[in-house]
Amino acid sequence: MNNSFSAADLDFQQQVRAFFEIEFTPELRARANDGRDVKGVAVEWQKKLYAKGWVAPGWPKELGGTGWTPVQKFIFETERCNAGAPDVVPFGLKMVAPVIIHFGNDEQKARFLPRILKSEDWWCQGYSEPGSGSDLAALQTKAEKDGDHYVVNGAKIWTTYAQYADWIFCLVRTGNFEKRQQGISFVLIDMKSKGVTVNPIHSIDNHHSLNEVVFDNVRVPVENLIGQEHQGWTYAKALLAHERTSIAEVSNSKRNLAEIIELAKQQTNHKGRLIDDPHFQQRLSDIEIELMALEYMDLRVLASMSAGDTPGPEASLLKIKGTEIQQALQELRMETIGAYSASLRVDEFQNELHREGSSSRKEYMYGRAATIYGGSNEVQRNVIAKAVLGL
């Protein structure tokens, strides 16, 4: 057993660190923290990563990937979080691209992948529907063949950032079979198509990221079908597994923990600094100890992936524990700041604590979703019960 990096890894770590230091400029950081120009910041940042050749570590090297080992990917993620740099928007680079790479034809690869790599297209994910959330296979959005087109009717919901999207990848029903998982197809739909409407859904963090996307007789060329008709479920499942491994977010949580400690050094009461308060320390260490265990859990999965295994049900474990820890940290951060977390907007006249408080609360509110999306934690527990414990 050993948990140390090789000399080459350490060298790589220096390179990555230097990159973030230079390219993630204070100006970009300020705009990212401000949160108003979501698309502008994401595209600009992703283009920088693309220029360096680092935008798609998960892709095969010949298509624009990095060819990194799992350990190098881990180092990159850690350094990114330490630098406070945003992750890439996942829908194109991390979600639809792997599906196109594995199941798309050569034309589709040539048409879509380079534009994803260069952040020229913004993608969104059209899976959930009003009637099908946890029970995704119940989806009803219909695609009927009409010559060389599908005609799509129905509605998708909770579609993150659909308001910015050029394309949506959708699960649609192309047929009815005894097994509901059959008859689902994976199609790519141009958001500019006639009959596509995006309705905003405002969320409890007082922000707009969610939408309803309605399809009214939208004509989609059959060449936008991925793989075989009726086989979309298989492709989607492969993609869901992908989504789940990146969800432990150990590095992010470590950074958040470090920031909370800094905040708690500044907060004082008559007993002294908050960080010296045994009660506060207890809460902090309750979380940090779980986080340490999670980190090694994550590394163990990483090691077995290096050895060639695909992540199995342990991904569910990472997701449950990872999101629980994230939420505990979001809560503690808000309480560390205290009453300032109550202010809704960040206006100019208000002090630094108002800014910290308001953004911490916003993250706390949005953070409630982490245990709901990507397969809710209840559904993940069902997976473990069934697949690991054989119940």
Inter-residue contact 140 to 154 (CB < 8 Å): yes
Q: Which does 274 bind (CB under 5 to 8 A by kind): ligand FAD, other proteins, none?
A: other proteins
Binder among 133, 221, 311, 374 for other proteins (CB under 8 A) = 133
Binder among 90, 283, 312, 363 for other proteins (CB under 8 A) = 283
Tell the smallest beta-carbon distance from residue 330 to other proteins (Å): 11
What is the bridge-based pairing of β-strands 149-157 and 268-269? unpaired
Our finding on whether 387 is near other proteins (CB under 8 A) is: no
Report the candidate in 131, 142, 124, 128 with the shortest Cα–Cα distance to residue 183. Answer: 142
Our finding on whether 365 is near ligand FAD (CB under 6 A) is: no
**Binding pattern for the stretch 333-362 against other proteins, x by CB under 8 A and - elsewhere:** -xx--xxxxxxxx-x-xxx-xx------x-
Q: What are the distances in angstroms from CA 116 to CA 131, 190, 233, 324, 361? A: 30, 14, 23, 32, 33
Report the candidate in 41, 12, 47, 15 with the shortest Cα–Cα distance to residue 29. Answer: 41
Q: Which does 159 bind (CB under 5 to 8 A by kind): ligand FAD, other proteins, none?
A: ligand FAD
State the Cα–Cα distance between residues 76 and 52, nearest whole angstrom.
13
State the Cα–Cα distance between residues 326 and 79, nearest whole angstrom.
18
Query: Is 62 tagged catalytic?
Result: no
Our finding on whether 246 is near ligand FAD (CB under 6 A) is: no
Query: In the complex with ligand FAD, which residue's Cβ is closer, 24 or 164?
Result: 164
Our finding on whether 186 is near ligand FAD (CB under 6 A) is: no
Report the candidate in 367, 291, 292, 307 with the shortest Cα–Cα distance to residue 333. Answer: 367
Tell the smallest beta-carbon distance from residue 263 to ligand FAD (Å): 26
Q: Which of 77, 79, 229, 243 is catalytic?
A: 243
Query: In the complex with other proteins, which residue's Cβ is closer, 214 or 365?
Result: 365
Q: What is the DSSP track for 48-109?
A: HHHHHT-S-TTS-GGGT-----HHHHHHHHHHHHHHTPPPPPHIIIIIIHHHHHHH--HHHH
Binder among 66, 78, 125, 336 for ligand FAD (CB under 6 A) = 125
Q: Tokens at residue 212, please?
A: 């309803």
Q: Tokens at residue 388, please?
A: 């690991």
State the Cα–Cα distance between residues 391 and 383, nearest whole angstrom.
10
Residues 13-52 that bind ligand FAD (CB under 6 A): none
Our finding on whether 376 is near other proteins (CB under 8 A) is: yes
State the Cα–Cα distance between residues 14 and 21, nearest whole angstrom.
11
State the Cα–Cα distance between residues 238 and 240, nearest whole angstrom.
6
Sign of CA dihedral 356, 359, 362, 366: negative
Binder among 125, 163, 371, 380 for other proteins (CB under 8 A) = 371
Binder among 13, 128, 193, 327 for ligand FAD (CB under 6 A) = 128
Q: Which does 338 bind (CB under 5 to 8 A by kind): ligand FAD, other proteins, none?
A: other proteins
Tell the smallest beta-carbon distance from residue 379 to ligand FAD (Å): 6
Binder among 160, 199, 234, 327 for ligand FAD (CB under 6 A) = 160
A 10 A CB-CB count for 40 gives: 11
Residues that bind ligand FAD (CB under 6 A): 124-128, 133-134, 158-160, 210, 369, 372-373, 376, 378-379, 382
> Where does this chain bind other proteins (CB under 8 A)?
128, 131-135, 138, 157-158, 201-204, 206, 210, 267-270, 274, 277-280, 283, 327, 331, 334-335, 338-345, 347, 349-351, 353-354, 361, 365-366, 368-369, 371-373, 376-378, 381-382
Residues forming the active site: 243
